Structure 1
Amino acid sequence: MPRRTATMLASTLIFIALLCAGVFIKVPYSEMSPGPTVNTLGAAGGEPVLQISGRKTYPTTGHLNMTTVRVTGADYNMNIVEAVYGWLAHDNVVVPHDTLYPDGKTEEQSTQENAEEFSQSQESAKVAALKELKIPVKARVVVSTVIKDTPSENRLHAGDVIRAVDGTPVKEPADVAKLVTKHKPGENVVFTIVPAKDAAAAEKAGKEPENTAKVTITTVKSDQGDRAIVGIQAGTDHTFPFGIDINLADVGGPSAGLMFALGIVDKLTPEDLTGGKFVAGTGTIDDKGEVGPIGGIEMKLVGARNAGAEYFLTPNENCAAATSDIPDGLTLVKVKTIADAKQSLERIRSGDTAGLPSCASS
């Protein structure tokens, strides 16, 4: 066999061996890529994303798109070839597996956590939107979680409204912990509650719940110290003056909060927020209307631009990462609150975009 032919054959065999090794050798990495975007003013799966009942709504135009990121599953084992391809691909990002799934979380655990965060983001979006429109929203302290194998198990239930602890009225979730920890482990705490089923029935009927009950629970010592606990987490539940439903399946996490809130404001406002423009964005939102950072901003910018967005509402704390690689034709608009976002939309609608708060000036 000629030397040249032998060399080519050996090189080919080595290449094939390396390729096979790359396919079979697994690496501890995961991949992120641009996910779909959804117009919160439009429909998804044949149903309006935002449905408002019992209150006058107004026509809307344009787009207020929430954005998403696709990630490989917790149980997916990436090989070397896929990792290298992901590193070289412009629109994808390869990150350590633990970045997306810390503490050994399973895919099921991660999905459950994302679902809970998504649900909470919807609640906060409704609150922030109505507060921005000066529409009163009633808040109440509730049992958010009952921890298994603690004194509260089967005594208190998620959704129970906490009116008082030891006769002292509570106004914030933090009040519950303060009053419980005044006790020593082994002492009794008396909760005045409205049972969850009674609270739900009263809300459905548009009335204030009347039935209350007193539940006495004996405290135990916390695993993290000597303080007394009863084994619950308190949270805030809200009663809205009319119906607001957010219908969007197969989405998780808290990052759509800002865009949901703006969509609700737009539908309840006579003036069209976007003026027909294509605006996308991201960001968590709390009950006060403050916008927080999210993950995967680079992927969301690409997804938004691919969908046709011209402007992208960007959480202030994500600006540095976002400006590292801005897709052509996309203008980043820095936002800190829902009020900031509304003001920027007014500028976009009027065409006065020179004064838009820019991430480039962060």
Structure 2
Amino acid sequence: MNRRILTLIVALVPVLVLGVVGSVVTVPFVALGPGPTFDTLGEVDGKPVVDVTGAPLDPTTGRLNMTTVSVRDGLNLFEAFGFWASGDHGLVPRAEVYPPGVSREEIDKSNEQDFKDSESDAEVAALHYLDLPTVVLVRGLTEDGPAARVLEVGDELISVDDIPLTSPQDVVDIVGTRAPGDTITLRYRRGDAEQTAPVTLAARPDDEAKGYLGLTPGEGGRPPLRVEFNLADIGGPSAGLMFSLALIDKLSPGELNGGRFVAGTGTIDQEGKVGPIGGIQYKMIAAREAGAETFLVPAANCNEARQRAPEGLRLVKVDTLDGAVTSLADIDAGREAISCG
């Protein structure tokens, strides 16, 4: 064999091996980057992202965008290097996102529940801010629990054994005094119809001496006010703040954003406290690329956000729902809002 050809073959073998390994072998990392961003004042698939019925709505303009982080799994060596070199993605160990011993299905289910909880917390926080009345609602039902034979998610709970309910905790406290086999009387409203039904309690899975109803009570708007959130395939709790702001904007005079493009992120509890989130740098990139000029940052994320903020994006520090509304009003009035420094 010609020596030149042999030399060429010897030189190409490592390249071919590297090419095969790099395109076939996966690495134990995932790539995080900017994800989709959604206008909570807008629509998705023809439906309002935050759909409010049963109350007069104030017109809104501008945008209040929630932001997300994309997660790319199953990367080969070349893909991982490409994301690392891109500048707008980062690599983290796969175990940080998908812990060993926990199935993908379990993780997705947990993220989905976190998102649903953030929706209900956002609704309650906004209603409390607006001083609107709330009622006790069925937020969830255990499939084989006693309540599932009578109630549906969304039913309003009025009383248990003629004891009026003023908060979700009332349901927990009353049922907690009953034993398995006891029959309680539930009064509830479904649609416009008020109904009464007896329910025999089962034994709690974690304490067989106590009665078990098998429902998750929550708080929500008093009918006819009804709030529905229409974003699917989104997980985690970080959209709470933007959902609350959209609901406030729709149910109160004026425009929170002054007609501008505002984006943001942050968890929220029912008292309106804003909590930290992950992936702030990627959410800021997504917001700026979508056209946002102002970004609402949870106070606990401010240091990281300040170091990684895209050019031209104003960072507004928020630790409560009330503070977020005040900061947006300040910006609209030409005043200086509290920033991340």
Identify the TM-score tier after normalising by the shorter chain. Answer: 0.7 to 0.9
User: Does the Cα contact within 8 Å between 1:146 and 1:156 map onto a contact in 2?
Assistant: no
Give the 3-state SS of the residue equivalent to 2:312 in structure 1. Answer: coil
CA contact (8 A) 2:150 2:197 kept: no
Worse-matched range after superposition: 86-95 or 118-127: 118-127
Aligned residue in 2 for 1:326: 309
Q: Does 1:191 align with 2:184?
A: yes
Aligned to 2:221: 239
Q: Which residue of 1 aligns with 2:19?
A: 19
* 1:236-275 to 2 correspondences below 5 Å: 236-240=218-222, 241-275=224-258
Q: Which residue of 2 aligns with 1:97?
A: 94
Q: Secondary structure at the match of 1:34?
A: strand
Q: Which amino acid aligns with 2:134?
A: K
The DSSP-based 3-state class of the residue aligned with 1:279 is strand
Structure 1 residue 221: Cα displacement: 5.9
Percent of matched pairs sharing the same residue? 39
Match of 1:302 among 281, 285, 302: 285
Structure-1 separation of matches of 2:205 and 2:174: 15
Aligned to 2:340: 359
Structure 1 Cα separation of the partners of residues 196 and 161 of structure 2: 14
Counterpart Cα distance in 1 of 2:209 and 2:195: 31
3-state DSSP of counterpart to 2:114: helix
Give the C-alpha shift of residue 83 in structure 1.
Answer: 2.3
- Structure 1 residue 120: Cα displacement: 3.4
Out of 206, 215, 240, the residue aligned to residue 199 of structure 2 is 215
Superposed displacement of residue 112, structure 1: 4.2
Query: What secondary structure is seen at the aligned counterpart in 1 of 2:92?
Result: strand
What one-letter code is carried by the residue in structure 1 that aligns with 2:104? Answer: T
Q: Which of 115, 118, 122 in structure 1 is aligned with 2:115?
A: 118
Check the 8 A contact 1:301/1:326 in 2, yes or no. yes
Equivalent positions of 1:67-106 (< 5 A) are 67-72=67-72, 76-102=73-99, 103-106=101-104
Residue 64 of structure 1 corresponds to 64
Separation in 1 of the partners of 2:175 and 2:227?
35
User: Could you tell me which amino acid in structure 1 is paired with residue 195 of structure 2?
Assistant: N
Distance in 2 between residues matched to 1:13 and 1:295, nearest whole Å: 43
Q: Deviations over 1:126-149 (max 9, x none)?
A: 332232222x2222153723264x
- How far residue 211 of structure 1 moved from its aligned partner, in angstroms, is 2.5
- Please tell me whether residue 37 in structure 1 is matched to residue 37 in structure 2: yes
Map of 2:128 onto structure 1: 131
Is 1:192–1:213's contact at 8 Å kept on the other side of the alignment? yes
> In 2, are the aligned partners of 1:181 and 1:227 still within 8 Å (CA)?
no
- Distance in 2 of aligned mates of 1:247 and 1:220: 33
Q: Does 1:339 align with 2:332?
A: no
Secondary structure, aligned partner of 1:91: coil
Q: Is the 8 A contact 1:163 1:192 kept in 2?
A: no
Q: 1:60 to 1:239 in 2, by over 3 A?
A: closer
Q: 1:11 to 1:201 in 2, by over 3 A?
A: same
Asked if the contact 1:219–1:228 (Cα under 8 Å) also holds between the matched residues in 2, the reply is: yes
Check whether the contact 1:221–1:229 (CA below 8 A) recurs between aligned residues.
no
Cα separation, partners in 2 of 1:19 and 1:47, compared to 1, 3 Å: same
Q: 1:170 to 1:22 in 2, by over 3 A?
A: same
Deviation at 1:95, TM superposition (A): 2.3
> 1:105 corresponds to which letter in structure 2?
S
* Residue ranges of structure 2 left out of the alignment (5+ in a row): none
1:247 partner amino acid: N
Residues 165 and 190, structure 1, Cα contact 8 Å, conserved in 2: no
Aligned to 1:146, which of 142, 161, 167?
Answer: 142
Q: Any idea what SS the aligned residue of 2:57 has?
A: coil
Q: Which amino acid aligns with 1:359?
A: C
2-structure distance, mates of 1:352, 1:118: 34
SS at structure 2 position matched to 1:288: coil
- Which amino acid is 2:339 matched to? S
SS in 2 for 1:30: strand
- Three-state SS of the structure 2 residue aligned to 1:58 is coil
